[in-house]
Amino acid sequence: MRQSRPWALLAPAALGLVFLLAPLAGLLARTPWSRLPELLSDPALLQALRLSLTSATLATLLSLLIGVPLAWVLARVPFPGRRLVRALVTLPLVLPPVVGGVGLLYAFGQSGLFGPALHGLGVSLSFSTAGVVLAEAFVAMPFLVVTVEGALSSTDQRYEEAAATLGAGGWTTFRRVTLPLVAPSVAAGAVLSFARALGEFGATITFAGNLPGTTQTMPIAVYVALESNPEAAVALALVLLGVSVLVLLALRDRWVRP
């Protein structure tokens, strides 16, 4: 006799799946396949694509540069209030991106907290490509920090001890032992950050604006094109979808498989 199962769950489950896949179907259904090559070779689209890829890459690099050390400190250096700091670091994950953008504006904008100091150095971040990178890194870096910190916390320090007995100082141990051991997680965190940076919309448009060629990234271009040229919007969206699928493939070993 087979165990009876709650078959009533099947209908909402199917509904859930349809709901998640419907936008994808909608997108593919409205794609002007025959005009696609022409649409995709539009210089404005290529410009936005280039800007998106460049700024997402730079945001990922920035996240690696300051996020990995931050993850190491959170995982390995006990200090009072560490739990609070850990919570604050993950704040951008739950914060509405627009709020992040407003915050960035009042921190690094011309009239912001650090604006005058930055202006004195001849640096203007808001409404510039550097601002795009900053906004993207702000929302994307927590993914990297959380991933790397988790990996560091779960790898024990046996190998670091061994390295010390073999004459390696702190920096050598970090570079030659600690970092290689968590390399898969650093890579996964970087891919996640890149994906998040590529899709960033709210913080970017709030802090960096919508200047074609300078701050108009793909997601912003999609949104703008929807008003004037829906076919172009669909083509742009399709490109972003393609990149997302690539990201999913890159991460398949970690998250997609059970």
Partner 1 sequence: MTLEAQLVLARPDFSLDVHIRAGAGEVVVVLGPNGAGKSTLLRALAGLVPLDRGRITLNGVALHERAPQARDIGVVFQDYRLFPHLSARENVAFPLRSKGRSRAAARAEAAAWLEEVGLQGLEDRKPSALSGGQAQRVALARALCGDPRLLLLDEPLAALDVGTRGDVRSALQRQLESFEGPTLLVTHDPLDALSLADRILVLEDGRVVQDAPPAQVVSRPATPYVARIAGLNLVRGTAVDGVINGQLVSAERLSGPVHAVIRPSAILLHGSRPEGSSARNVLACSIVGMEALGDRVRVSLTGPPQLVADVTAAAVAELRLREGQQVWASIKATEVEAYPV
* Closest CB 184 distance from partner 1, rounded Å: 10
CA distance 3 to 9: 15
Among 53, 164, 250, 251, binds partner 1 (CB under 8 A): 164
Site for partner 1 in 100-159 (CB under 8 A): 158-159
* Residue 229: CB atoms within 10 Å: 15
* Residues making up the chain, counted from first to last: 258
> Is residue 165 close enough to count as binding partner 1 by CB under 8 A?
yes
Burial class (CB in 10 A: 0-12, 13-18, 19+), 12: exposed
> Is residue 172 close enough to count as binding partner 1 by CB under 8 A?
yes
> Is residue 161 close enough to count as binding partner 1 by CB under 8 A?
yes
Question: Of 116 and 180, which has the nearer Cβ to partner 1?
Answer: 180
Among 44, 95, 98, 168, binds partner 1 (CB under 8 A): 168
Among 16, 69, 116, 180, binds partner 1 (CB under 8 A): 180
> Is residue 169 close enough to count as binding partner 1 by CB under 8 A?
yes
> Is residue 167 close enough to count as binding partner 1 by CB under 8 A?
yes
Question: Of 166 and 249, which has the nearer Cβ to partner 1?
Answer: 166
> Is residue 166 close enough to count as binding partner 1 by CB under 8 A?
yes
What are the structure tokens assigned to 213, written together? 């060629």
> Is residue 69 close enough to count as binding partner 1 by CB under 8 A?
no
- Angle CA 40–101–209, to nearest 5: 45
* Closest CB 92 distance from partner 1, rounded Å: 31
Stretch binding partner 1 (CB under 8 A), from 1-9, 67-75, 165-173, 199-207: 165-173
Stretch binding partner 1 (CB under 8 A), from 64-72, 172-180, 190-198, 199-207: 172-180
Q: Which of 146, 10, 160 is nearest to 68 (CA)?
A: 146
Question: Of 165 and 228, which has the nearer Cβ to partner 1?
Answer: 165
Question: Of 49 and 182, which has the nearer Cβ to partner 1?
Answer: 182
Question: Of 174 and 201, which has the nearer Cβ to partner 1?
Answer: 174
| Interacting residues with partner 1 (CB under 8 A) | 158-159, 161-169, 172, 176-177, 180-181, 183
